[in-house]
Structure 1
Amino acid sequence: MACASAGRRRRVGAPAAVVAVVLVALSPTQTVPAQGVQAAGEAGTQGYIVALKRGAGAPAAASGAGRALVERYGARVRRVYGSALNGYAVRASAAQAGRLAADRRIASVTRDERVSLRWTRVRRMAPPRAHARPPWGLDRIDQPDRPLDGAYTAPGGGRGTTIYVIDSGVRASHEDFGGRARSGWDFVDDDPVAEDGNGHGTHVAATAAGTRYGVAKKAAIVAVRVLDDRGEGTIAQVLAGMDWVLRHARRPAVVNLSLGSAAATPLPEWDAAVRTGIAAGLVFTVAAGNQDRPAASFSPGRVARALTVGSTDRADRRSGFSNWGPGIDLFAPGDRIVSASNASDTATRTLTGTSMAAPHVAGAAALYLADHPFATPAQAGAALIAGASRGRVRGAGAGSPNRLLRVAN
């Protein structure tokens, strides 16, 4: 489906830029205390994410009782989450949110913050030249040691699996997808056409499953758009995208989140949504973050059962921006990665970041699931970890497991 099919204009990012990409909260997301709420906009309203408790006697978000509970305190429901989260996105004053948080049937009330892609470094370079060799990242992950051999050989192509890309959308008509990409839902414009006006999502999707640039060259791709053309959105939109995936996903499936918080403040609803998806049998691959700090401090990479991915460069060094520590599961190539661009159906772009490392692992997970369609997320993760090249990452960081992604026949 062509980007222009819906007739909306999309801004296209600079095609010659090499960037490190992370999703950042413009201000820390905080859980609202039950008493003494002191928040900006006390007299007005702002967005909150409300999670209801689960279990016997707890109301379901989709029920009239759950909605009535929230509205009883004056909150206005904007979105209902019934799969990834038992809860709502609401508008409320800080005082109303505080009273709501005090109710014993409420698990948490968290401010919904604006989030945005942060371009942390830009290097001007010539556009990549067309050539027969695969991108260096693919070349690296199919062999345990350097030097690179100029080829990429994968065990199968991931046929029969689906990779859900929760991002800025995907240019599904790009030739690198070969008709295997489609739209799921657009939670920015609230329509079924998840066009990409930013470019990040298209690049990520092709790295995971493009015909030339991807790891799993026969996997299907479903785009779920939660970020606008500027790479901005809200946590509520991200949760809506995850909720949609949990309702519609067909296993075997992988969910890629090349985004996360920039503040080292837990986002409990986001973490809970990832855990719910994993419990439902979906493999989650998550970018570790570009803050050069412990990965376990950031949501949703802090979720233990997700596959949290750090970035390496061509020399097998941990990228200087990449997060590190025991929260990392695998490292994968993330520096100067060539992949598809949203600029046209043939365009390419070179980007840098843990955003680029995570889809390498998403593609590898799809390859495994194609051969083991009934495997659990834990089994898929264990297989990728067991198959990784060990001791190859230079300067992996304190506490980091020294494991570099490897796909092998």
Structure 2
Amino acid sequence: MPRRIGLPSLYLAAAAATAVTTAIPLAMAPASGIASRPPVTEPTRPYIVTVRDRAGARDLVGEMRWRVRRFYTSALPGFATVLTASELAELSADPRVLAIEPDREIHPMPITTSALPHAPRAARATGKGVTVFIVDSGVTHGRTGNSGRTGTFHSEDLRMSGHTGNLRVSHGFGDRLWWAFDATGRTGEDCGGHGTRVARAIAGRSHGVAPQADVASVRVLGCGGSGSLSDALAGLDWVRRHARGPAVANLSLDGADSPALRTAMARLARSGVFVVAATDAGRCRLSPTGETYSARAPRLAGAAARYLELHPAANPSVLASWLKCAATRDTIRQNPSRALRTGRP
């Protein structure tokens, strides 16, 4: 179950539902087709299946339910499963199926924490009241250990504790941090360090762009630093189902070339969540479907949280129109009033 650390009570019901977010509906009865076949004896491989609509996805999951690993209902109509070569060919020919792609390993992207050129100066804005969903390796609230212990410790976060030689790590999130969802089945805390560094760049008390934004840990990477595409989709599916109020989602992962992940991000953006994804290109790019891509993804996520504090009703397309993505600079234009009135820059 997720561990709530102080976000508003509207998330309590969402937290209670986390354990079954991508569970397969047990009441589904198997229909004819693949589920009625003898046990599989030939090799299988993992795949992501995108279906044309929810009804089709539900029917297909009913036919294949004991072989389905993840069932997506919000960010993507589809599921993650394992298939033999002959099953792949048959499912690819099914008119209910839109696309099939291999499930694969994903990895964290390098974090660029340098300040944005011409960074936005929003008076009084600190991101307060905005939730930033960190879809990554988890977020660490703080831990204490022996000074000789190795770990993801950074000099700006360390302070001596008494005379015992222990070091207390505090990333400055306080009760703003919430362990929302963990696709790996753990607690949501970060054992690799990447997600915590992303969260600190966005909302850390000392160094974050939006130091009062709430932080929701959506863990999709394991302790080894990698994860699966199917788990990343499960994280986005959870955010799409439960996000309320002004919200930003940051994905500093390398899966942006996945059609299924792009579809999930686009659906999340259309639901009202501003989505920022990392890229290794220097320039910022706005997708026609509403996601923003940048090598400075955490900085843009923090800037978006500051903007949304002042304009909580702004939808992602309006906010994106004010993110000026040129070859040499990423910025939010200074006078948002016209865009908020007209929906145009």
State the TM-score, normalizing by the size of structure 2.
0.70
Query: Number of residue pairs matched?
Result: 269
Query: Deviation at 1:69?
Result: 4.2
Counterpart of 2:291 in structure 1 is 306
Distance of 1:405 and 1:243 partners within structure 2: 29
Matched, 1:85 2:76: yes
Matched, 1:110 2:110: no
Q: Read off the aligned partner of 2:331 and give its amino acid letter.
A: L
- Tell me the SS of whatever aligns to 2:322: helix
Is 1:141–1:407's contact at 8 Å kept on the other side of the alignment?
no
Matched, 1:403 2:329: yes
Counterpart of 1:223 in structure 2 is 217
Counterpart of 1:204 in structure 2 is 198
Is 2:109–2:253's contact at 8 Å kept on the other side of the alignment?
no
Query: Deviation at 1:178?
Result: 2.7
Distance of 2:204 and 2:255 partners within structure 1: 27
Query: Deviation at 1:142?
Result: 3.9
Distance of 1:163 and 1:194 partners within structure 2: 15
Q: Read off the aligned partner of 1:83 and give its amino acid letter.
A: S
Distance of 1:295 and 1:137 partners within structure 2: 14
Distance 1:137 1:114, change over 3 A: same
Distance of 1:401 and 1:204 partners within structure 2: 23
Matched, 1:53 2:52: yes
Structure 1: give runs of 5+ residues left out of the alignment: 4-41, 121-134, 144-151, 310-353, 389-399
Q: Indicate the structure with greater helix content.
A: 2
Counterpart of 2:145 in structure 1 is none
Is 1:154–1:407's contact at 8 Å kept on the other side of the alignment?
no
Is 2:108–2:194's contact at 8 Å kept on the other side of the alignment?
no
Q: Read off the aligned partner of 1:374 and give its amino acid letter.
A: A
2:67 aligned to which of 73, 76, 80? 76
Q: How does 1:10-409 map to 2 (within 5 A)?
A: 43-54=42-53, 59-61=55-57, 63=58, 65-70=59-64, 76-117=67-108, 137=115, 141-142=118-119, 155-173=124-142, 174-188=170-184, 190-191=185-186, 193-261=187-255, 266-289=257-280, 304-309=289-294, 354=295, 357-385=296-324, 401-405=327-331
Distance 1:303 1:69, change over 3 A: farther
Q: Percent identical across equivalent pairs?
A: 34
Structure 2: give runs of 5+ residues left out of the alignment: 4-40, 143-169, 336-345
Is 1:289–1:295's contact at 8 Å kept on the other side of the alignment?
no
Distance 1:261 1:403, change over 3 A: same
Counterpart of 2:12 in structure 1 is none
- Tell me the SS of whatever aligns to 2:227: strand
Is 1:172–1:183's contact at 8 Å kept on the other side of the alignment?
no
Distance of 1:384 and 1:406 partners within structure 2: 5
Query: Deviation at 1:366?
Result: 0.6
Q: Read off the aligned partner of 1:307 and give its amino acid letter.
A: T
Query: Deviation at 1:180?
Result: 1.0
- Tell me the SS of whatever aligns to 1:103: coil
Distance of 2:279 and 2:115 partners within structure 1: 17
